[in-house]
Amino acid sequence: MKLNEGQISKTLAQFRAQVLAEDHPAVAQFCDMFGHHTLFLDDRGLCVLELLEVPGMEAEEGEIVSLADWSDAKFTKLTTHKPEPTGVVICLKEVQHCDGDSFSSVARCASAS
């Protein structure tokens, strides 16, 4: 699934990666293989955020799913594989916190309460 800007920002704040640009030559090939997603590159390879959705509610979290691993030491070649959940959960819900006279928003997982 394609993420919106807010979801991308929250993901990058919690997961060390970079977004693969839409105009990158490999994006079309990956979309043919895995569907239309916001693609991330990290030190392991190519991955996506799969939102953990509850019908009728906005997704509050998602899990990073690995799609391809780096196959060379220079991080220039990827070897695809079946999607593999990584166990890395990204919190997308923002909760308002009051600290005296000011409010701040932080991402918080429902399970982190």
pLDDT score of 55 more than 70? yes
- In angstroms, the CA 90 to CA 108 distance is 9
Residues contacting residue 5 through CB under 8 Å, at least 6 positions apart: none
Sole residue written with tokens 């399970």: 111
Predicted confidence (pLDDT) per residue in 20-38, tens digit: 999 999 999 999 999 999 9
What average pLDDT does this structure show over 97-112?
52
Domain boundaries, the chain: 5-112
Residues contacting residue 98 through CB under 8 Å, at least 6 positions apart: none
Q: Which of 4, 2, 10 is nearest to 90 (CA)?
A: 10
Return the biggest CA–CA distance within the chain. Answer: 52
Question: What integer pLDDT is reported at residue 105 of this predicted model?
Answer: 53
